[in-house]
Structure 1
Amino acid sequence: MRSTLRALAVGALLFTGTALHAAPAEAAAMRPPGGGEACTYSVSADGMTGTGICKNIGNHTIEVSFTIVCGWSPDLSSGWMALAPGESNGARGTCGGTGVGSIVAHVRDL
């Protein structure tokens, strides 16, 4: 009985320690494009290649990342790209199989 209680207490401590980890700072700061960004998305005529471009029309530096959602194929993700005010950048990816389902831009303020 005593060893069972000790095991439960240790398990509870381990679970509590794991559950209390904070989310990474980048996840908390990530947001969809807003008034400080102008983002456009396009898909090729055959539906297989997606392109996303964002321009920073705000007054501070941002970072942008793109996810191209592919039907039954693995999604494609770009790295984070820093954009100073007035700069633009984008990403392009080609999906296999069923083609592009959507293109999503993620923004975080620096």
Structure 2
Amino acid sequence: MLRTKQVAAVVVGAVTLLSLGFTAPASAATVLDCDTFVHNNDNYLGIAMCSNPTGQTWRFRAVVTCGWAPDVVGEWVTLAPGGSGQSQGVCGRLGSGVGAVGVDERVA
């Protein structure tokens, strides 16, 4: 019975927050068509290659998660409609290399 009351209180609290205008964060929907990968011969280099299938100019950069070294971001690349490009980031050599590569994209 106690568990049911706790769940009900959480649901009521969530509904109250939503009714006050507080919403959950938006999902990370992507607009650009991107491939991300670690360089074949250098596991410290993360690369994002993207193309712009839209009719609007976008910009993007690689977001590289590094093992034991600080994470890094690549240079911003601007893509006109139909354009493509590449951004890359290099992890510190004292770390363990690239753990993941993501993309930060924004309207230009």
Q: TM-score range by the shorter chain?
A: 0.5 to 0.7
Matched, 1:51 2:47: yes
Structure 1 CA distance for aligned equivalents of residues 87 and 58 of structure 2: 16
Is the CA contact 1:32–1:106 (under 8 Å) kept in the aligned structure 2?
A: no
More helix by percentage:
1
Structure 1 CA distance for aligned equivalents of residues 68 and 34 of structure 2: 25
The structure-2 alpha-carbon separation of the partners of 1:42 and 1:77, relative to structure 1 and needing over 3 Å to count, comes to same
**Unaligned regions of 5+ residues in structure 2, if any?**
1-27
Is the CA contact 1:52–1:90 (under 8 Å) kept in the aligned structure 2?
A: yes
Q: 5 Å matches for 1:1-110?
A: 32-34=29-31, 37-45=32-40, 47-95=43-91, 96=93, 97-110=95-108
Matched position secondary structure for 2:75 = coil
**Unaligned regions of 5+ residues in structure 1, if any?**
1-30
Letter in 2 for 1:33: T
Is the CA contact 1:33–1:106 (under 8 Å) kept in the aligned structure 2?
A: no
Provide the alpha-carbon RMSD of the alignment.
Answer: 1.8
Provide the identity percentage.
Answer: 32
Matched position secondary structure for 1:85 = coil
Deviation (angstroms), 1:99: 0.5
Corresponding pairs, count: 78
TM-score (normalizing by structure 2)? 0.62
